[in-house]
Structure 1
Amino acid sequence: MSKSIAVRYKNFIRKWKTFVFCGMMFFLKTHLILASGEPFPIGAKSWGIGNATTAIADRNSIFSNPAGLGFLKENFVSTSYHARYTIAGLQTLSLSGNYNTKFTNIGLGIERFGDKLYNEQKLGLAIGKNMNRVSLGLKVSYFQAAIENFASKNTLLTEFGVMTKLSSKLQMGFHAYNLTGAKLFASQHIPTVLRLGLSFTPSKQILLVAEAEKDIELPTLIKAGLEYQIVKHFYLRTGLTSKLNNAHFGFGFHSKQFIFDYALSSHSALGFSNHLSISYQIGKSNAQ
């Protein structure tokens, strides 16, 4: 009799766990919370200008377009914190750095999303090679997603990028995410995303950016942003994203070798998100 009760108890626990898991997955997918390996933009500067960063070579290129590493003359160490919609468990933390050598520029980026219930980790190694006016970039990331006391899955993600200087004021960038079609679960594809963008600096004080983003299973997304250096070392930013009804605002401050960036983004249905980044510029490279 006791064995029968034990078996029933185990079956009940197994069914309950399955029910909770399925309900959680449905809830997360319905509210677009489960990231599923999608390329989440890293860096408060990126969020300040609407995440139109494919054609920008800066401290966040390790996340936005590895080709940008090839144009960097400085070495950076950066960390970012993203709190989405003020909902517990939707925070993203990142740490990154780049190092320039005589042959190629190297970048390392770490990301963590979620909490104990559901979390994602991503560790990526990228290289960027500058060939005069053109730079090529490649990134390979180890990606892991885990659900507490239920499952843990991992895979490799690949990214490829190109960035070219069309003139002294105009740059073009292309970035492809997950071209190999990696999967996390058998029934759950990681998005393949293609991005094409432009950056234009009509003066030292103004940066204009625009970008088209295409998830192969979703409509094309158009993004645009503006950065204005209002006074020396202080920048104001804004940006817009089509279809998602997103608005972006932010500012940046450079203090000697430290760089502070903050951005606030809004979603018409989900509310506000806060983004904070701190970077340290190690110095200029003598390799280039």
Structure 2
Amino acid sequence: MDTSTMLVKPLTCLAVLIMSIGCNTLLHAQAVRLDKGARAIGVGGAFTGLANSSFALFYNPAGLMLLPHREVSFFYAQPFGLSELSDFAIAFADPQTLPAGFGAFGAAARRFGFELYNETAVSLGYANVFERRFFFGATLSYQLFSIQGYGNAGVISLDVGILALITPELSLGVSALNLNRPSIGLSNEEIAQVYMAGLSYRVLKNLRAFFDVEKDVRYPISFKSGMEFDAVPYVSLRAGFSTEPQRIAGGIGVRYAFVDADYAFLTHPELGFSHHLTLSVRFGGTSESAQEDFERLIDEAFELKPPIKEGEKINLNTATFQDLMRLPRMTRTLADRILRYRQEYKRFESVEELKNIRGVSEALFSAWRRFLVVEP
């Protein structure tokens, strides 16, 4: 092994320590902000305007209200291929346990670094809704910074966020990290505050765009943008870009049953590639039903479907999109599939044919059956 190779690890460790400690203080740490979740990283980190995953606690806690089911996610990365910068996180989101109207909660833990320098944090988050289309959330975290030979110190930090559904396709989000301006070390240095604003826009049924503006008080404004394309029902392709520094991102997500697996890469102009992995497990619904339930959350927020009344009947052979949307638990995706099925086969011969359509479960069919008829 040559000398240059032997020096890589010590120099890397030294660089991390230089970023984290000063010469005249016992402990002089600055939190290292790294994005979490391969899906968000794959779209350039532009996730503030939607944040509909268990990693909402790291972007915008208000996004917890956009999850239809409980979810736990595991994240791992080695930025630039360096084990000294290993980054691990686990996040849990629960929109179902609290009584109706009492919101959603989440929890997360993360660890970054190695034996000479590391950061560990545990977080609790809460979110709720007001005026149907507006959500708010907060995350309370305990962050512990440790430097070998210097000791360790911890702080409590507060993050807050809001999210608004402007139209069924457009959402806006704003969040502030370390809002309480916690300080650490003998010099009482403040942990840097970060302010983020973003939007998410559903351009097409299977294409979503993301845009973020981020301001870390230590650095210039960073602009982030990305796209997510559902290439086929169970596969999503992602690409993104960010500035300060200029970075290119991309990734892929695969969904099967109740499990999602996501991969993302991120480039750095000097340091090279980083690879990121996330595995998510959903409780109470499959990946397909989760997407449909997410659409239903949006529909209900905008009251797009006046509920059908007892005794009313809808003829499957003449029903319009809006007619179908009046059925209980109907989503735009399922309504589209029903209309495409009718177009392909010319007409329905019986109501039971709905069971042939992907996504129509026995429970959904039972909820619709009394409202449907088949007539010429």
Q: Which TM class, normalised by the smaller chain length?
A: 0.7 to 0.9
CA contact (8 A) 2:29 2:184 kept: no
Counterpart mapping for 1:244-259 below 5 A: 244-259=245-260
State how far apart, in whole Å, the 2-side matches of 1:39 and 1:27 are.
Answer: 12
TM-score (norm 1): 0.86
1:24 CA drift (Å): 6.5
| Equivalent in the alignment of 1:104 | 103
Aligned to 2:240: 239
Distance 1:117 1:281 in 2: 36
Amino acid at match of 1:118: Y
SS of equivalent residue, structure 1 residue 89:
helix
Structure 2 gap ranges (5+)? 1-12, 23-27, 298-376
Secondary structure of 2:171's counterpart equals strand
Q: Which amino acid aligns with 1:36?
A: Q
TM-score, length basis structure 2: 0.66
Deviations 1:118-143 (A, max 9, x none): 11101000001022100000110000
Q: Is the 8 A contact 1:241 1:247 kept in 2?
A: yes
Matched length:
264
- Supply the AA of the counterpart residue of 2:257: K
Report 1 or 2 for greater relative contact order, CA contacts < 8 Å, sequence distance ≥ 6. 1
Q: Are the structure 2 counterparts of residues 152 and 202 from structure 1 closer, same or farther at C-alpha, using a change threshold of 3 Å?
A: same
- Cα 1:81–1:24 shift into 2, 3 Å: closer
Q: In structure 2, what residue type is equivalent to 1:56?
A: L
Q: Secondary structure at the match of 1:56?
A: coil
Query: How far does residue 203 in structure 1 lie from its aligned partner after superposition?
Result: 1.9
Q: What SS is found at the alignment partner of 2:83?
A: coil
Is residue 50 from structure 1 mapped to residue 44 from structure 2 by the alignment?
yes
* Map 1:84-95 → 2, pairs under 5 A: 84-95=79-90
Aligned residue number for residue 7 of structure 2:
none
The amino acid across from 1:163 in the alignment is L
Aligned-residue offset at 1:158: 0.5
Match of 1:179 in 2: 179
Q: Is the 8 A contact 1:120 1:145 kept in 2?
A: yes
The aligned amino acid for 2:126 is: I
The residue number in structure 2 matching 1:79 is 74
Higher strand share: 1
Paired residue secondary structure (1:26):
helix
Q: CA deviation at 1:41?
A: 1.1
Describe the SS at the equivalent of 2:219: coil
The residue number in structure 2 matching 1:150 is 150
RMSD (Å), alpha carbons = 2.3
Query: For the residues of structure 1 that align with 2:47 and 2:14, how far apart are their CA atoms?
Result: 36
- Asked if the contact 1:70–1:105 (Cα under 8 Å) also holds between the matched residues in 2, the reply is yes
Tell me the secondary structure at the aligned position of residue 85 of structure 1: helix
Q: Deviations over 1:63-101 (max 9, x none)?
A: 211000122211101000011011121011011101122
Give the structure 2 partner of residue 26 of structure 1: 18
Change (3 A) 1:178 1:75: same
CA–CA distance in 1 between the matches of 2:77 and 2:139? Answer: 22
Question: Which residue number in structure 2 is paired with residue 262 of structure 1?
Answer: 263
CA distance in 1, matches of 2:256, 2:273: 28
Q: Quick one: structure 1 residues 117 and 55, their matched pair in 2 at CA, closer, same or farther if it must change by over 3 Å?
A: same
The 2-side partners of 1:29 and 1:40 are apart by: 18
Please tell me whether the aligned partners of residues 71 and 130 of structure 1 are also in contact (alpha carbons under 8 angstroms). no
| 2:19/2:30 contact within 8 Å kept | no
Aligned twin of 2:138: 138
Pick which of 149-158 and 273-282 moved more.
149-158
| Structure 1 unaligned spans of 5+ | 1-20
Amino acid at match of 1:169: E
SS in 2 for 1:251: strand
Which residue among 57, 66, 74 is the counterpart of 1:62? 57
